Amino acid sequence: MATPVEMPKLGNTVEDCLLSKWIKQKGDSVAAGEIVAEIETDKATFEVPAPAAGVLLATFFEEGSLAPVFTNICVIGEPGEDVSAFAPGGAKAPSPAATVDQPAAAPVETQAAPPVAAAAPVPAAETFASPRARRFAEEHRMDVRGIQGSGPGGRVLEQDVRDAFYTKPRPSVVVVETAAQAEPAPAKTTAMGGIRDKIARRMREALASTAQYTLTASADATALLAMRAKIKARRGELPDINLNDLVLFCTVKALLRMPQLNAELKDGKLQQYAHVNLGFACDTDRGLMVPVIRNAHALTLAELSVAAKDLADRAVKGRILPDELSGGTFTVSNLGSLGIESFTPIINAPQVAILGVDAIDLRMVRRNGRVEIEDRIGLSLTCDHQVIDGAPGARFLGVVRECIEDVAALSGLKV
Active site members: 385, 389
Other Cβ atoms within 10 Å of 405 Cβ, number: 18
Q: Count the helix, strand and coil residues of the chain and give each as a percent rounded to the nearest 5.
A: 30, 30, 40
Other Cβ atoms within 10 Å of 248 Cβ, number: 24
DSSP strand pairing (330-334 vs 353-367)? parallel
How many whole angstroms separate alpha carbon 217 and alpha carbon 40? Answer: 39
Prior bond of 4 cis (ω within 30°):
no
Q: How far is CA 226 from the centre of its chain?
A: 35
| E strand spans, 53-144 | 54-59, 65-68, 72-77
How many whole angstroms separate alpha carbon 96 and alpha carbon 114? Answer: 28
336: helix, strand or coil: helix
Nearest Cα neighbor of 386 from 270, 251, 214 is 270
CA angle centred on 343, ends 340 and 347, rounded to 5°: 130
Question: Phi, psi (5° rounding) for residue 174?
Answer: -110, 120
Other Cβ atoms within 10 Å of 413 Cβ, number: 18
